[in-house]
Amino acid sequence: MDIQQIKNMIEDLPDFTGKKAVALETTIISHGMPYPQNVKTALAVEDEIRKQGAIPVTIGILDGKIKIGMTPDEIEEFGKKQSQIMKVSRRDLAYCVANKKSGATTVAATMILASLANIKVFATGGLGGVHRGAQENFDISADLDEFSRSPIAVVCSGPKAILDIPLTLEYLETKGVPVIGYQTEYLPLFYSRSSSYKLEASVKDAAEAAKIISTSDALKLHQGMIFANPIPSDYSLDNKMMETYIEKALEECEKAGVKGKAITPFLLAKVVELTGGKSLDANIALIKNNAKVAAQIAVELNK
């Protein structure tokens, strides 16, 4: 495919080479939070990135056109039309665009599209990964494989707590994907600041993170990496308490017969219900914090 064919599918294909840009996904808007918190959070995340001197680039698909940099009105449309928006990963991209559908990009799809625009840093909430019971159902997120294909540094608060964390880490190790703690030596567990999973690498600040990214590029490794950034302490929830709620949510998910891409949104919504909204507050806080750190890394990388 030549550059003109790509431009026909992407509205005003930008080039962020040498610019302080941070990619943002849209699944969190359409499938991760209820309206209007989803839209308010998306716009607040963009503002946080601007405050750090970087450029927010929210990525999604509207009526078959790939948008690398959505407007506030487009974000509002995504937030309102949740049930009408496809959840788009690598396997769904061509279908969504070819059939002129609207799609919200997952971590994997956002990494692919950010790469086309030469964006090096991406901020999200939590990673998809190996689901509990994967030994029987083989439910493994495409997010993990994408790190071995797309050279994007992703700032997140670790894998989503609903996942099988040891297997997720093992899978990433098999794929050769670096998982680096940001100002921590232990893997954050999304809603909680720490865990018993000690990481082999950590960085003390954005400058050190940027140096690792640029070194990876110089070595032509052509792969992504994960910077695991803990949720702010004021919003961190107790690990044992959250595990109880997650187990309850998993039981209800199984009873309801929820399968495939619908599992994560179902579980997250159920956990919000069980925690009386505390998990939603935590989710919003960690996303804003990850955006802040990602923007700082993008600024340092540009230097």
Give catalytic residue positions: 25, 160
Separation of alpha carbons 1 and 191, rounded Å: 42
User: Could you give the residue ranges of the DSSP H alpha helices within 34-139?
Assistant: 37-51, 72-80, 93-98, 107-116, 134-137
Work out whether strand 55-62 and strand 153-156 pair parallel, antiparallel, or are unpaired. Answer: unpaired
Q: Please report, in angstroms and rounded to a whole number, the separation of the first and last CA atoms in the chain.
A: 33
> Contact 60/26 with Cβ under 8 angstroms?
yes
Separation of alpha carbons 125 and 282, rounded Å: 10
Tokens of 192: 């909680």
Separation of alpha carbons 77 and 88, rounded Å: 17
Separation of alpha carbons 2 and 166, rounded Å: 41
Residue 42 one-letter amino acid: A
